[in-house]
Amino acid sequence: MRQILYVSNIAGDLTPGDLDDILWSSRANNAPADITGLLLHIDGGFLQILEGEERMVRALYARICADRRHHAPQLMLDRAVPARTFTGWSMGFERPAADDAETAGMFGVAREAISGRLTPRAGPVVALMLETFYRVQRDDVLRLAEVRAS
């Protein structure tokens, strides 16, 4: 199992509709390739973690690097992992608002990475932040399902 984390800036302006198109096409393409992960759009940039079979993840990252909507993608983490972290998320998506105090703190490290203020050595820390976010979201969904079932 391979996990890749990258950041990139957006080349030009993307509308909310453009972002929705990226999300839906990511989900449609990733599910058959058995790629899971999380995409963040913050402050004019993307931070994404991808995981799956190595050949498929590397091919997807190559397509992302060639996509003209991405400017200067920077690989922050490329590692073998023993198991999938983002199980069930063909592509989780978050668009944290800059003025939301709760997400501003949570995604501060992502903002630093996108702006280029973090080196690739920070990749494991950024990946841990994304894994924690995923677990919190997953646990919230499970708790809601339990409440509805009772």
pLDDT tens digit string along 65-105?
998 877 888 899 999 999 998 887 666 666 665 555 455 55
**What is the number of residues in the chain?**
150
Q: Strand 36-42 relative to strand 92-94: parallel, antiparallel, unpaired? A: parallel
Q: What is the rounded CA–CA span in Å between residue 4 and residue 16? A: 25
Which of 93, 114, 96, 117 lies closest to 106, judged by CA?
96
Q: What is the rounded CA–CA span in Å between residue 129 and residue 106? A: 8
pLDDT tens digit string along 107-144?
666 767 776 777 777 788 888 887 877 777 766 555 55
Domain that holds residue 145: 2-149
Q: What is the pLDDT of residue 56?
A: 95
CATH of the domain at 133: 3.30.70.100
The helix (run of H) or strand (run of E) holding residue 20 is helix 16-33
Q: What is the rounded CA–CA span in Å between residue 34 and residue 4? A: 14
Number of domains in the chain: 1
